[in-house]
Amino acid sequence: MKNNSKQRFFISNLFALCLFITTGALRAQELKYTDGNNSWNPSLLGNHRVVVQFTGSGTVAKTTIDWRRRDENPEQKQIIVQDAKTGKNILNVKPENINRESGTIFFEPVSGKGTYYVYYLPYIDEGPNVYYPKGVYVKAKNTADAAWLSKAKTDLKTNCSVSEIQSINAFNSFYPMEVIATATETQNLIAQNKGKEFLVFPEDRMNSIRMQKDLPKRWIDKGIQNTFTDTALKGEYLAFQLGIYALQDLSNVKITFSDLKNKDGKTISAKNIGCINTDGIKYDGSVFSNSVNVSKGRVQAMWCGIDVPESTTAGDYLGEVLVSSGGATQTVSLHLVVNEGVTHNGGIDQPEKMTRLKWLNSTMAQENTVIAPYTPLEVKENEISLLGRKVLLNKNGLPTQIQTFFTPEMTSIGTKANDILAAPAQFHLVDNAGKEINNWKNSSFKFTKKEAGTVAWESSNTDTAVEMQVNGTLEFDGFLSYTVKITALEDVTFNDINFQMPLQPTSAKYLMGLGQKGGERPESLKWKWDVANKNQDGAWIGNVNSGLQFSLRDEKYSRPLNTNFYLQKPLILPASWGNENKGGIDIVPSGKTVLVNAYSGNRSMKKGDVLYYNFNLLITPFHAINTDFQWDSRFYHRYNNLDTISKTGATIVNIHHATPINPYINYPFVEHEKMKNYIDEAHSKGLKVKIYNTIRELSNKSYEIHALRSLGHEIFTPGKGGGFNWLQEHIGEDYIAAWFVPEIKDAAIVNSGMNRWHNYYVEGMNWLVQNVGIDGVYLDDVAFDRVTMKRVKRVLTKDGHPGIIDLHSANQYNKSDGFNNSANLYMEHFPYLNKLWFGEYFDYEKNQPDFFLTEVSGIPFGLMGEMLQDGGNAWRGMIYGMTNRMPWSENADPRPIWKVWNDFGIKGSEMIGYWSENCPVKTSNTKVLATVYKKKGSALISIASWADEDVKVKLNIDWKKLGIDPAKAKITIPEVKNFQSAQQFSVNSELAVPKGKGLLLIVNQ
């Protein structure tokens, strides 16, 4: 027994010694992860390296690196070894046993003992251009000579020590959340928790969970934690994570919170605690509820938040969070320490702490209050009046007439009604015998809402075979939305179900959409659905002062991706209107009307089947044009010294992204202090400042990017990944790479459609107005709908702020963009814009005046604009009151025309465009057009030519309309730099007008 005791003692001590040695060895192998301080060229070497110390002798060094990489197939990627002393790459290198967990590297230590760098993940950029890089990792290749390779024996002892793993900078680091656990460590963890369906790893807000396919080594080191502890100030939103590791397939993961209580019975209610992955508020104010499923072997981050009331008593609060899936549950204890003191501004001034995740569920500015210059809706019997327009309803709920009251010049609202409809809009249901259902019985029509901003109604209409339920909503800006529910009361077959709008020809002069460039309406148009290739579901048809945009929508409509991403997420073909591509739209003459016929083709319905023929109408114009705003608002579109800008005569500065005060695309929060200082100085000099900030893509520098990724495809659209190497290394997969700024390595990914990021966006705009003082926003395309635009306009104009919004778009009439018209695509936003800037790829030379009027000028919608591509055409632009915008390109200098405006005193003048029958000046050539800017006793006449050659014209002036005595009239052609030379001119003389150009004339008496 004594011997047995000694044996047990010996074995026990031997085990302890082995454990000590093993633990010590593990600690010795523990690597430091450090910041390389941008000390090497990542374009040649990649973003990651291992620092090794060669302590041996001879010509072969051997090191084994426990790098724990998250990338796939590391054995296929090149390893570069560099001599730290000389900075030269070493050719004699032999990688061995390269895998995600570790790798052995043999290399020639050309400088003897000392430091060497092992670079991994080197990449090259294959374009297509610097703004859309395609990072491709260099493939493994042998650079060693045979003689040296023969010396690199696998049984060679390790003669290097690994001191640290470095990333080019802290932002590129994999530590700690992207350093993977080994397969053995993971299997051991699973074995220790046999019988469990999942594991829960609480994690703090400063270490965003990033990987889905691997556990981080950090969790192995910490072990399973059953308690999460953190501290917060009063009023703070404390975010934290619950990392779910699925040991079996999980469905509908739920997070349930208890109240948090202190020892005195004070509580933080469970109502103040939530999980953004499962619950919240949608962008339109409705309830968000999401089912989270996790596949076996995957990690899912569940981001939670405790909204600590300001009134909370300081102290320790305890509670529980229950994680459940099916019948499986696990409980984590919550321990919150509330400190004394109230956090400033709810903690949102520190977004790096994830405090702004609370914004995802914001309802700010959601109430549909009337926004200036619009007026409250007024209902009188079946008539609804709004700014400059009127809608008359039939008992079936559809419009019997739509009218506008804008003058032809578009500078004011008159009293003469411009009828848009020639007859009531109607649905026609035609049976398989060709007979129309026309025995409708209207069982009810009633208004369900009468508010200043919204009027809603419903109507029920039945026939023997079908019921048609019509729900309509009109908003103060002229947005008319219809939900038309058709229910089969018996089995029925239709030859067609169509919706027809007979239009007055005077309100159907122009057309834009359905594959047509903006301009004069063709005699007839026959269009079929093609959502895979064309971003089209309707069109705008109208005149300068009266028109309608119509769009046909599926009940599950999701906004497609815009700009050159459309083909990656196109429109949903409406089940009703599209009807398996049987549907289409005809716009054709019909008697004395122009008929818009949206048909869906033959189909059968079983009793109880339901179809939704939903559609939207926008009644244009939205308001009169504000010419004085155009003359006063002179944009300088570049970050620059403010004194320099002031000297140009500009009044508004647009700050793009990739600038010192707004570096990161669509995330203008990082350098907000610099931005505020700049804006304060601008205001002191009488300048306004607007910033670039939109929703379309989001910078990888956004603090919340990994939290947003945890929401699946809600915020970011799915895609093939790729792009800039940071995205490949840290986002991994399932995204679309977007705009990239090479100078600051700002890499964005594409947002999906309408989601809770819009709530964050509205809150962010409000914060920028209230805390930074921005005067508005510059939108470079938008990926949100009018609901968000209204909210943005409300927060931008709150408390008397100017809230100036201008929209820029490149011409999207091309294959990549789905052949849509920019104005048609963004028209729902036009009611809240102050100016357009259209844009790259708009051809100001080859297109005709009707194109300028409809697609570029904004005038038929109550807006004015500016030109971009190649500096625009200054002569044609002035016909529409447009200049180019300085100093975006070398030839973009509107100052000579600004000087003409100043010298003439254009502010307060009446703009009378060539499109108005009231224009007092015409020329003798129909291809040379004139617009008049009229004041008492003087006028500025803008002439521009669309003739095919140089021409000479005479002016035909209606002096009475012009308000000038011809006997006293004096006409001058002033010198305008880069525009025209000074000339003598008399009323009866001919004007020489060069091809594609024009003149500015001033008339005085």
Confidence (pLDDT) at 891: 86
Confidence (pLDDT) at 163: 95
Confidence (pLDDT) at 28: 38
The CA–CA distances, whole Å, from 515 to 535, 627, 779, 820, 944 equal 9, 31, 25, 7, 28
Residue 409 or residue 1005, greater confidence: 409
What is the band of 16 on the pLDDT scale with cuts at 50, 70, 90? very low
Confidence (pLDDT) at 105: 98
Q: Looking at the predicted structure, is the pLDDT value of residue 15 above 90?
A: no
Both structure tokens of 767: 């914060």
CB–CB of 333/323 below 8 Å?
no
Backbone Cα Rg of the chain = 34
Confidence (pLDDT) at 22: 37
Residue 79 or residue 345, greater confidence: 79
CA 634/CA 835 separation, integer angstroms: 11
What is the band of 13 on the pLDDT scale with cuts at 50, 70, 90? very low
Percent of the chain with pLDDT over 90: 93
Query: HEC profile for 148-215?
Result: HHCCCCCCCCCCEEEEEEEECCHHHCCCCCCCECCHHHHHHHHHHCCCCCEEEEEEECCCCCCCCCCC
Mean pLDDT, rounded, for 875-881? 98
Both structure tokens of 163: 């001191």
Q: Looking at the predicted structure, is the pLDDT value of residue 25 above 80?
A: no
The residue length of the chain stands at 1005
Both structure tokens of 205: 């807000």
- Closest alpha carbon to 285 in 648, 679, 762: 762
Q: Looking at the predicted structure, is the pLDDT value of residue 21 above 70?
A: no
Q: Which residues pair with 604 in a beta bridge?
A: 493
Strands 466-475 and 525-528 turn out to be unpaired
What is the band of 443 on the pLDDT scale with cuts at 50, 70, 90? confident
Mean pLDDT, rounded, for 530-537? 95
Mean pLDDT, rounded, for 930-959? 97
Confidence (pLDDT) at 207: 98
Confidence (pLDDT) at 973: 97
Confidence (pLDDT) at 962: 97
**From the centroid of its chain, how far is CA 565?**
12
Q: Looking at the predicted structure, is the pLDDT value of residue 872 above 50?
A: yes
Residue with tokens 């244009």: 620
Contact partners, residue 842, CB within 8 Å, separation at least 6: 810, 811, 855, 856, 867, 868, 869
What is the band of 8 on the pLDDT scale with cuts at 50, 70, 90? very low
CB–CB of 759/359 below 8 Å?
yes
Q: Looking at the predicted structure, is the pLDDT value of residue 1 above 60?
A: no
What is the band of 562 on the pLDDT scale with cuts at 50, 70, 90? confident
The b-or-e profile of 472-481 (16+ CB within 10 A means b, else e) is: bbbbbbbbbb
Q: Looking at the predicted structure, is the pLDDT value of residue 260 above 70?
A: yes
Both structure tokens of 522: 């063709």
Model pLDDT for residues 492-507, shown as the tens digit of each residue = 999 999 999 999 999 9
SS3 content of the chain, % helix, strand, coil (to 5): 20, 40, 45
- Closest alpha carbon to 745 in 180, 47, 81: 47
- Closest alpha carbon to 275 in 215, 321, 338, 231: 321
Confidence (pLDDT) at 801: 98
Residue 562 or residue 53, greater confidence: 53
Model pLDDT for residues 663-716, shown as the tens digit of each residue = 999 999 999 999 999 999 999 999 999 999 999 999 999 999 999 999 999 999
Query: HEC profile for 401-449?
Result: EEEEEECCCCCCEEEEEEECECCCCEEEEEECCCCECCCCEEEEEEEEE
What is the secondary structure of 654-674 as a DSSP string? EE-SSBTTB-STT-TTTTHHH
CA 20/CA 29 separation, integer angstroms: 14
Model pLDDT for residues 583-641, shown as the tens digit of each residue = 999 999 999 999 999 999 999 999 999 999 999 999 999 999 999 999 999 999 999 99
The amino acid that residue 342 corresponds to is V
Model pLDDT for residues 772-797, shown as the tens digit of each residue = 999 999 999 999 999 999 999 999 99
CA 528/CA 585 separation, integer angstroms: 6
Instruction: Report the half-sphere exposure of 31 (CA within 13 A, side-chain side).
Output: 23
Using DSSP, state whether 374 is helix, strand or coil.
coil
- Closest alpha carbon to 300 in 194, 173, 214: 214
The CA–CA distances, whole Å, from 469 to 36, 395, 443, 610 equal 66, 12, 10, 11
∠ Cα 583 587 593 (to 5°): 135
What is the secondary structure of 592-624 as a DSSP string? TEEEEEEE---EEE-TT-EEE-EEEEEEE--S-
